[in-house]
Amino acid sequence: MRQNTSQAARRAFVALVATVGVLAATACSDAPSDTASSSPSKVSSSAPADGSTPSTTAAATCGARELSTMPLRQKLAQLLVVGVNDGADARRVVTREHVGGVFIGSWTDLGMLRDGTVAKLSAQQKFPLMVTVDQEGGRVNRLKSVGVDLPSAREMAKTKTPAQVRAIAKRAGERMAELGITVDFAPSADVSDESDDEVIGDRSFSNDPAVVTRYAGAFARGLMDAGIMPVYKHFPGHGHGSGDTHTGAVTSPPLREMQDVDLAPFRDLLAEPGTAGVLMGHLIVPGLTGADTPASMSRAAIGMLRNGKKYNAPGFDGVVFTDDLSGMQAITDEYTIEQAVLKAITAGVDAALWLSTDKVSSVLDTLVKAVKEGKLSTERINRSVVRVLTAKGVVTCS
């Protein structure tokens, strides 16, 4: 039988599906270009640094009541999603710093899901937690031991219809909801012809953008049917990158070459109502990001996602996550976790993701200092907090 707290979490994220999504971009300017500097520049008060349109800037008014009750540090904590070892680790970081979400990794003791610890912890907070996981299927099958076992994306596309994939994802999502999970960092919308065991490989549904669009969309709709928030990844497309961001810097094809291939699924999928989240890859994109700036820290890349202009897409006003900032050498070779989170949030992401709890207080100290020094504006933070709280079903913006 499902725990009441799991039901509450599921209802909250069903509300998310109805409220978080895409807004057509109107009368918006291009996002500022990235620079090679590792220090965040001051945010202009005249235009959102994250590429948001005027309509999304106004969205903060719908969360004014919630924002008025939150100290700065609590607002910033809502923008953090951190990996936890077990229930005790989750309880410590949530109680101490009130982070917005926890991440269930391959190392996490899943007893915290089986016994309802994480769901109860979420229900005890002022705002519910995002309880997140990578559950794609195939090689990325984090919940197999607790009853969620999916084929790889490539196998599903070869052996199932989109309708069958939607049904498979719905069943998996229902089990996730029972366990207290609310967000799945899936499906991959990457277009790839790599062999199965390469970095994307069989995590991609196909090397045909149209096939990826059909099957990733079906998988996402199945999760949403179950009340789970799907997150498309790895924007703007990892399938034809030069390597693996786990092991070092990766360059994608130039932006112009990505338009009809890597970006095509995102363009089509984000036009559908109910799209809930996008995860930014750590990819350097010639013609878009700076020469040394990964998309996850790039105002230009996040601005392109927000306003849609550079790839002829609708503007996206849902939650934007980073890929892992602490366990991938594309980031850790250049930045401490404090620097990485600050750069990503300054660039416009809503939720910074990393794999452990030990540096949460230090990261928050860094973010608070950046706000006080004028490197990160309160308006910028408020926009992301409202997106996160909307995704949690706390705020409803109409």
The CA distances from residue 3 to 11, 23, 60, 130, in Å, are 13, 35, 33, 17
| Average pLDDT of the segment spanning 27-50 | 39
| Average pLDDT of the segment spanning 135-163 | 97
| Average pLDDT of the segment spanning 243-270 | 96
CB 101 within 8 A of CB 80: yes
Q: Which pLDDT value is given to residue 274? A: 74
**What residue type is assigned to position 24 of the chain?**
A
| Average pLDDT of the segment spanning 98-120 | 97
Q: Which pLDDT value is given to residue 166? A: 98
Taking only the tens place, the pLDDT of each residue in 293-326 is 999 999 999 999 999 999 999 999 999 999 999 9
Paired residues of 319 in beta bridges? 277
Confidence of residue 273 (pLDDT cuts 50, 70, 90): confident
Q: How far is CA 183 from the centre of its chain?
A: 9
| Residues designated as active site | 246, 323
Q: Does residue 185 register a pLDDT over 70?
A: yes
Q: Does residue 356 register a pLDDT over 70?
A: yes
CA atoms of 28 and 48, how far apart (whole Å): 10
Q: What is the pTM of this model?
A: 0.87
CB 229 within 8 A of CB 223: yes
Confidence of residue 244 (pLDDT cuts 50, 70, 90): very high
Confidence of residue 33 (pLDDT cuts 50, 70, 90): low
| Average pLDDT of the segment spanning 234-261 | 96
CB atoms within 10 A of CB 69: 8
| Average pLDDT of the segment spanning 159-168 | 98
Higher pLDDT, 316 or 11: 316
Q: What is the mean pLDDT of the chain?
A: 88
CA atoms of 75 and 188, how far apart (whole Å): 29
Higher pLDDT, 24 or 208: 208
CB contact set of 282 (below 8 Å; sequence gap of 6+): 245, 250, 294, 295, 296, 323, 328, 330, 331
Q: Does residue 177 register a pLDDT over 90?
A: yes
Domains of the chain: 56-391 (3.20.20.300)
Q: Does residue 238 register a pLDDT over 70?
A: yes
Q: Strand ranges (DSSP E) for 238-315?
A: 250-251, 277-280, 283-284
Q: Does residue 37 register a pLDDT over 90?
A: no
| Average pLDDT of the segment spanning 43-65 | 55
Confidence of residue 397 (pLDDT cuts 50, 70, 90): confident
Q: Which pLDDT value is given to residue 211? A: 98
Q: Which pLDDT value is given to residue 17? A: 39
CA atoms of 40 and 87, how far apart (whole Å): 35
Q: Does residue 1 register a pLDDT over 50?
A: no
Q: Which pLDDT value is given to residue 276? A: 78
| Average pLDDT of the segment spanning 103-108 | 97
- Report the candidate in 129, 120, 220 with the shortest Cα–Cα distance to residue 173: 220
Q: Which pLDDT value is given to residue 396? A: 86
CA atoms of 353 and 326, how far apart (whole Å): 8
Q: Does residue 28 register a pLDDT over 50?
A: no
Q: What percent of the chain has pLDDT over 90?
A: 82
Q: Which pLDDT value is given to residue 59? A: 46
CA atoms of 129 and 67, how far apart (whole Å): 17
CB 56 within 8 A of CB 390: no
Q: Of 54-63, 201-210, 260-269, 349-358, where does mean pLDDT reach its minimum?
A: 54-63
What is the rounded end-to-end Cα distance, in angstroms, of the chain? Answer: 35
CA atoms of 224 and 269, how far apart (whole Å): 14
CB contact set of 85 (below 8 Å; sequence gap of 6+): 107, 108, 109, 356, 357
Longest distance between any two alpha carbons in the chain, whole Å: 55
Q: Does residue 4 register a pLDDT over 60?
A: no
CA atoms of 244 and 353, how far apart (whole Å): 18
CA atoms of 154 and 195, how far apart (whole Å): 10
CB contact set of 106 (below 8 Å; sequence gap of 6+): 142
Q: Does residue 46 register a pLDDT over 60?
A: no
| Average pLDDT of the segment spanning 86-104 | 98
Confidence of residue 43 (pLDDT cuts 50, 70, 90): very low
Q: Does residue 220 register a pLDDT over 90?
A: yes
CA atoms of 253 and 270, how far apart (whole Å): 21
CA atoms of 398 and 89, how far apart (whole Å): 37
Q: Does residue 9 register a pLDDT over 70?
A: no
Q: Does residue 352 register a pLDDT over 60?
A: yes
Confidence of residue 53 (pLDDT cuts 50, 70, 90): low
Q: Does residue 10 register a pLDDT over 60?
A: no
